[in-house]
Amino acid sequence: MCGQMVTKITVVGLGYVGIPCAALLADVDGFQVTGLQRRSKRSGWKIDHLNAGKSPFEGDEPGMEELIARVVKKGTFRATDDIEILKDSDAILIDVQTPTDADHIPQYDSLKEVSKQIGERLQRGTLVVVESTVAPGTTQNVVQKIIEEHSGMIGGKDFDLAFAYERVMPGKLIHNIVNLPRIVGGITPKSTMRAKEIYSKVVKAKIHVTDVLTAELSKTIENAYRDVNIAFANEMALVCENLGVNVYEIIEFINELSNRMMHIPGAGVGGHCLPKDSWLLRYGLNKYGFHKMEPQFITLAREINNHMPVHMALLVEDALKKKGRPIKGATVTVLGVAYLENADDTRNTPAAAFITALEEKGAKVVLHDPYVREWDFGPHVIERDLRKAAKNSDCLALVTKHKDYFNLDFDGFRKLMRTPTIVDGRNVYDEKVVTAKGFEYRAIGKAGIE
């Protein structure tokens, strides 16, 4: 490799971060981008789909289809499963999943494997950027050490390394990458500036530069902050249910002040980030910090948010009881299994815990989602026909705020169902309208179980 000019970029991991990132970079004049994806039974089809100029996302992703089609037609983007492409890369971006296990320990199998593969093929002068969310300290103590071990090179001298986290969310993948501020932290000032130079080609907002540990902490603390605020809203929703008051009216009163921003409660918290990033923060703190400590706020917040799908099941049980139907043997139609509205992302979806809670009570579960094509959680088929999913059902339980659920024909559904009950986990329905149609209604944050 001659000089430090970046022209050939490889993005490792073609998911909700890697695909939009790769496509946006491929739309920059002078960049040639390759997306590297392991071809597996579950995800190998993405390679062919992307190379045909098609978006693999089922949900609403403004601009994505057009962007992918454009860069494939230009010849500046392609997808492959050939890891030897790493040898011919000026910059390598790592966008693999970094989940945590049942004990909240990060599972870095993919991250470590990719780091090893990079190290074995690294060319002197290459820039490596970790975009995957990791526990603070991971970029230097895991990624850098593995690359150095397998390359024989020294980070910051023979190759550059940085951490630059994303703030994407389904439905706003392109928008968030382009328009939200970016934080970039390298292991050396040179690594930082090289990474900033790449992002400056696609990011219109301010790009903040810092050191690598500060950047890693910024991501995990940011999401822990969000999780704690959602947990507060969820706990106040339970308080209001207990007292027979509508929490959403109270939230409106509070948020009238410009310096207030109370979050919205709901059936649970999902996605790749919020359910695990607090645990990554805790892990990094105790792995690399000066002293072991237990961050209490974020631990309690996780417990509260994890309880919400279980509480949803209690609301279902109570609504059915009011109609004289025991939950054991009842059929519950779950509306939405994606974790986020109008998207196909099921990672850490609260629907999973909700379904488990229902089945533990003896209920039969029918799933409906207009966007999700498949899901690895249990032997459940996802129905695409909403009326078919509701036929002979005893309860419609809304978990995901898909637009398809906003204007239900309540008269028609009441005739289809065996027991007309609705449990609203996202404040979609007007209680007066629903009850006037003959339904028993329960909702997160409204008059609850008596």
Given 46, 172, 219, 446, which residue is catalytic? 219
* Rounded Cα distance, 299 and 160, in Å: 35
Contact (Cβ atoms closer than 8 angstroms) between residue 149 and residue 117 = no
From CA 447, how far away is CA 1, in angstroms rounded? 66
Rounded to 5 degrees, what are φ and ψ at 60? -75, 115
SS3 at position 183: strand
Instruction: List the one residue out of 239, 235, 227, 333 whose CA is nearest residue 280.
Output: 227
Active site residue 273: yes
Q: H/E element holding 148?
A: helix 145-151
Q: 3-class SS at 397?
A: strand
Known active-site residue 401: no
The contacts of residue 419 (CB under 8 Å, 6+ apart) are 320, 323, 325, 330, 393, 394, 395
Residues 6 or more apart from 103 whose CB is under 8 A from it? Answer: none
Give yes or no for a contact between 423 and 316, defined as CB atoms under 8 angstroms apart. Answer: yes
Catalytic residue among 196, 273, 276, 446: 273
Sign of the CA dihedral with 111 first, then 112, 117, and 122 last? positive
- Which residues form the catalytic set? 219, 273
